[in-house]
């Protein structure tokens, strides 16, 4: 599997297709890109080059716990440098949940690199901020406080990363528990500060500043709320909202968590939505 070193951290990536406009997809949470391979293959078969990568601290990439920005800002900046290293700009940046957050921040922080956005399951609201800040950061702070870095290495997420790349254990063990906890605390604070924003990671002014084409597929659970997708659509002038990929649910009856099996079963429809959007917009270029 090809790799690239970005700001001292080795990232695992894969490219599908050999010609055509560049497209990327990034999964949610800190999952590796494996779940998006078939989607990438569908898009590449229609004449695009598709880039998938494991973000730092995800999948088979290296761990990099650094307090240089919020974690999703770090991911966005890493992604921009990866794309430029591969000659993959401008690119249609796509993603789900945390991957959608990466794509949005990539376009906001590096507008010269973004052709447009392909988003699904955008994250927004106080419930999402509180739940995810604990899941991504608070839970690991608690482990480090009680068991140090040895215990962090044994947690499900970091143990998976060590199995995929054994050298990650040494990288984690060279990190002091205090530095790890301080960085996680900063990342958690930054995440919680976004609780009142239209979507986590972007203000109203940020979304209004986007001029590129944006396709948004609406979610139906309490973390990826219809309201968040609808707010983003209203604020992004050149956006389209698709609200019928998964079952529509009223705001008072949203799923507690996203239905992974349902979303994965809808992959052919998601591919069709994005290919239709790309056909109408990608040919115009930047």
> Span 145-169, mean pLDDT?
98
Q: How far apart are CA 153 and CA 160, in angstroms?
A: 9
pTM score, whole prediction? 0.96
Residue 283 has pLDDT above 80, yes or no: no
* 286, pLDDT greater than 70: no
Query: If you average pLDDT over every residue of the chain, what do you get?
Result: 97
- Over residues 10-38, the pLDDT tens digits come to 999 999 999 999 999 999 999 999 999 99
Predicted confidence (pLDDT) at residue 264 exceeds the cutoff of 80: yes
Across 62-84, average pLDDT: 97
65-98 burial, b for 16+ CB within 10 Å, e for fewer? beeebbbbbbbbbbbbbbbeebebbbbbbbbbbb
pLDDT (mean) for 152-157? 98
Q: How confident is the model at residue 284 (pLDDT cuts 50, 70, 90)?
A: very low
* Signed CA dihedral, 278, 208, 236, 249: sign only: positive
226-263 tens-digit pLDDT: 999 999 999 999 999 999 999 999 999 999 999 999 99
Residues 252, 255, 258, 264, CA torsion sign: negative
Q: What gap in Å lies between CA 199 and CA 174, rounded to an integer?
A: 35
Give 53-92 as a DSSP string.
EPPTTSTTSPP---TTS-HHHHHHHHHHHHHHHHT--SEE
Mean pLDDT of 128-137: 97
Residue 282: pLDDT band (50, 70, 90) is confident
Would you place residue 9 in the very low, low, confident or very high pLDDT band (cuts 50, 70, 90)?
Answer: very high
């Amino acid at each position: 599997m090809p790799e690239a070193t970005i700001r001292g951290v080795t990232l695992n990536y894969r490219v599908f297709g050999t010609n055509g406009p560049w497209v990327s997809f990034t999964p949610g949470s800190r999952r590796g890109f494996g779940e998006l391979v078939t989607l990438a293959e569908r898009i590449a078969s229609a004449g695009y080059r598709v880039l998938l990568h494991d973000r730092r601290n995800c999948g088979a990439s290296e761990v990099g716990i650094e307090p240089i920005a919020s974690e999703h800002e770090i991911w966005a900046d890493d992604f921009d440098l990866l794309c430029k290293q591969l000659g993959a700009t401008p690119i249609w940046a796509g993603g789900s949940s945390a991957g959608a957050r990466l794509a949005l921040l990539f376009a906001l922080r590096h507008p010269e690199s973004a052709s447009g956005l392909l988003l699904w399951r955008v994250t927004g609201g106080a419930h999402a901020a509180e739940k995810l800040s604990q899941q991504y950061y608070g839970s690991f702070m608690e482990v480090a406080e009680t068991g140090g870095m040895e215990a962090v290495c044994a947690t499900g997420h970091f143990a998976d990363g060590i199995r995929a790349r054994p050298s990650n254990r040494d990288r984690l063990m060279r990190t002091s528990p205090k530095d790890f906890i301080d960085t996680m605390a900063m990342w958690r604070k930054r995440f919680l500060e976004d609780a009142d924003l239209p979507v986590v990671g972007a203000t109203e002014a940020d979304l209004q500043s986007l001029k590129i084409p944006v396709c948004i597929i609406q979610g139906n659970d309490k973390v990826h709320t219809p309201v968040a997708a609808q707010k983003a659509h209203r604020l992004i002038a050149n956006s389209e909202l698709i609200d019928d990929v998964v079952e529509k649910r009223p705001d008072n009856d949203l799923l507690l968590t996203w239905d992974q099996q349902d979303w994965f079963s809808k992959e052919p429809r998601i591919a069709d939505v994005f290919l239709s959007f790309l056909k109408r917009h990608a040919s115009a270029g930047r």
